[in-house]
Amino acid sequence: MNTVGAFIFAYSAYLLNFFSTDFLAVFLISMAISHSMIDFLPSMFLGVPEEGTVLSVLPGHYFMLMGRGKEAVRLVTIGGFGSLMVTIVLLPIFALFLPPIYWEIKPYIYLILVLAVVYMIKRLNRNLYSMVWSVFLFISSGILGWVMLNTPLSTNVSLLTIFSGLFGVSTLIYSLTQNSKVPTQNKEHNFKINKNILRGIFAGGIAGSILGFLPGMGPAQGSILAQELSGGGDIGENREGFLVAMSGVNVSDTLFSLIAIYLIGNPRSGIAVFIDKLIQNFDLNYLLLFIFVSITAVSLSVFFCLKLGDFLILYINSINYTLLSKLVIIFTSLLVTIFAFIENANILYVLLVYITSISLGMIPHYIGVNKSNLMGVLIVPAIIIYASMAWG
């Protein structure tokens, strides 16, 4: 998403000969909101691990392994749509309280991030072995992120290279080594809205909005916050609510990263940065327009998410899963290389970082810890930057 946004922004001078700045901004917002919901589909259908790891996999993969893919698609859909609506309904409250709170806590954001990380590692690990590995992965990915932040490489190439390796290609390679395949999916679904799902919707909307003010924190950390807001407990005991919250955090965080431009004058995502540069005077009229665009985009995404998800469920077993995974790996690797050429980056250096990211991204699969520890790639640089600002 950020890559496409960067491409559009890079050629905005040319595109503005045919389209207005408002048109480009609306297109970017629609793409961001739609992507934040539909992006769950490839993440669920690709990289499904073997059955023996079912207790430690992501909720989406768990449902796929249990043959409940149709149910997962509906949980993701209602989570994204419902949480975005919660964010919009609660926007007046957020607008009233969050900006003054933000300016008060800004000097201490690095401490808040450190405490959030400590809690995250403690929450996701149940023994010393996994905790040590989690700390190692967090610090290692953080070092990688800090090094890339201080290189001449453009942010677009850096983020594409690191995230493709840490979270995308590494998962697919591990899946191939395990000879994984998607089990036959039930043609019917047993989807019913209950209190756990409703709590997940509200928790996802609130957590995603709070996340819009905290730099470096991603949906993985937001999902943990949402889990606590929805009543806590073991994720394995409430996978339905947790999957709803994960989707909700993703979508509401995308919207709130845009709203942050109006509330605190500080965009919180790549797309938000591009929009902030396109729109010179981000006033209340633009805020209302973008909220309307977001509602329209998420409503259309509900339809496409359900239809595309059900289509994939129907035909996933007739697809050569191994070949598909290999093609995605090749395509992603070519994409990294092509963008490195476009940005005149050092190809050998980019490939070295890419391979390092893949290697680091594969470790959690083999030792059985959560991959969200790799979000240190963004959080550690954010902690360093905000700490240096606070200390002068």
Print the SS3 string covering 111-145.
Answer: HHHHHHHHHHHHHHCCCHHHHHHHHHHHHHHHHHH
* Stretch 30-42: mean pLDDT: 83
pLDDT score at 52: 36
**Cα angle, residue 352 at apex, residues 218 and 350 outer, rounded to 5°:** 70
What is the b/e burial string over 290-300, where b = at least 16 CB atoms within 10 angstroms of the residue's CB?
Answer: bbebbbebbee
Residue pLDDT, tens place only, 210-228: 776 666 566 556 666 766 6
Residue 341 has pLDDT above 80, yes or no: yes
Which one of 186-200, 218-232, 323-337 scores highest in mean pLDDT? 323-337
State residue 352's pLDDT score. Answer: 93
Does residue 289 carry a pLDDT above 80?
Answer: yes
Rounded mean pLDDT of 265-287? 77
Mean pLDDT of 292-307: 92
| pLDDT grade for 356, boundaries at 50, 70 and 90 | very high
Tokens of 24: 């480009």
pLDDT at 6: 60
Consecutive H or E run containing 203: helix 195-211
Long-range contacts of 283-287, Cβ-Cβ distance < 8 Å, separation of 24 or more: 286/25, 286/262, 287/259, 287/262
**Side chain identity at 359, as an amino acid letter?**
S
pLDDT of residue 53: 35
